[in-house]
Amino acid sequence: MRKKIIAANWKMYKSPAETKTFMEAFLPLVKGHARDEIVICPPFIDIAILLETARGSNVHVGAQNMYWETEGAFTGEISGKMLAAAGCEFVIIGHSERRQYFGETDDTVNRRLEVALEAGLAPICCVGEVIEEREAGITEEVLSRQCSRAFRGISARKAAKLAIAYEPVWAIGTGKTATAQIAAQAHEVIRHEAAKAFGKDFAQQLRILYGGSVKPENAKEMMSQPEIDGALVGGASLKPDSFAAIVKY
């Protein structure tokens, strides 16, 4: 049985003070919840306060991005090593907003993934098709390409902490959710690619999350699918009661 990851992607929302206020309300709501792994990925500026307020709790902390170099003259970037040193356990890699607005490609996802794993972080690697690709009937091809390129050159031993988030881009922030059937088909493609890259046993253990307009109203249905090993939640993770309701689906 794969333990589910319920992860919040706060995107570019919340100051450190707002993060503290969120945690004061959120922690009592999920106290003792051990069925799923709870992860919050805030903006970099909030990582320190999140770690401080989450200490000793069941909430794990992640980042939303990282650079593949360890250190150097890369203004505005943060390395995986720095995130790990700060106390982060997780990092989102290749979110569709990074691909769409910041030039992330399958190859840069691969470089980030490799270095995140080397730094001891657990990457949540995002893949997913845009609406034009779904309508053109090439979703499986797109997912296979994104996965095979992301996994290139990475060994199963090294990839142990990897998780994938299937996020159909047309479902992110739109209120549209993939049907359980769409998600199950996509997860099958991803698991197949993972088996090709890392072996069948690895693929069976790999956690594949679903992301795209998950909210308290649809969390139970999505999370009850055996193929869905958790959720990556954007908008609905910003309010403590809404994110807690998703965690406790």
- Convert 224-249 into a string of H (helix), E (strand) and C (coil): CCCCCCEEEECHHHCCHHHHHHHHCC
Helix axes 16-30, 240-247, angle to 10 degrees: 40
Q: Which of 37, 60, 95, 187 is catalytic?
A: 95
Q: Is 89 a catalytic residue?
A: no
Measured from the CB atom, the residue of 18 and 69 that comes closer to ligand PEP is 18
Please spell the DSSP secondary structure of 131-187, one letter per residue: HHHHHTT-HHHHHHHHHHHHHTT--TTGGGG-EEEE--GGGTTTS----HHHHHHHH
Site for ligand PEP in 75-114 (CB under 6 A): none
How many residues in the shown chain lie near ligand PEP by CB under 6 A?
13
Indicate the helix (H) or strand (E) that contains 73: none
User: Closest separation between CB of residue 154 and ligand PEP, Å?
Assistant: 23
Measured from the CB atom, the residue of 93 and 172 that comes closer to ligand PEP is 172
Buried b (16+ CB within 10 A) or exposed e, 37-61: bbbbbbbeebbebbbebbeeeebbb
Q: What backbone torsions phi and psi does residue 121 show, to the nearest 5 degrees?
A: -85, 160
Applying CB under 6 A, which of residues 5, 6, 8, 9 lies at the interface with ligand PEP? Answer: 9
Measured from the CB atom, the residue of 53 and 96 that comes closer to ligand PEP is 96
Interface with ligand PEP includes 173 (CB under 6 A)? yes
Applying CB under 6 A, which of residues 83, 122, 150, 172 lies at the interface with ligand PEP? Answer: 172
Beta bridge partners of 123: 91
Measured from the CB atom, the residue of 139 and 213 that comes closer to ligand PEP is 213
The two structure tokens encoding residue 206: 């790999």
Interface with ligand PEP includes 240 (CB under 6 A)? no
Interface with ligand PEP includes 167 (CB under 6 A)? yes
Site for ligand PEP in 209-238 (CB under 6 A): 211-214, 232-236
Interface with ligand PEP includes 65 (CB under 6 A)? no
Beta bridge partners of 209: 165
Measured from the CB atom, the residue of 190 and 214 that comes closer to ligand PEP is 214
Q: Is 95 a catalytic residue?
A: yes
Interface with ligand PEP includes 37 (CB under 6 A)? no
User: Closest separation between CB of residue 214 and ligand PEP, Å?
Assistant: 5
Question: Rounded to an integer, what is the distance from CA 120 to the centroid of its chain?
Answer: 16
Contact 15, 47 (CB under 8 A): no
Q: Which of 37, 104, 167, 193 is catalytic?
A: 167
Positions touching ligand PEP (CB under 6 A) are 9, 167, 172-173, 211-214, 232-236
Active site residues: 95, 167
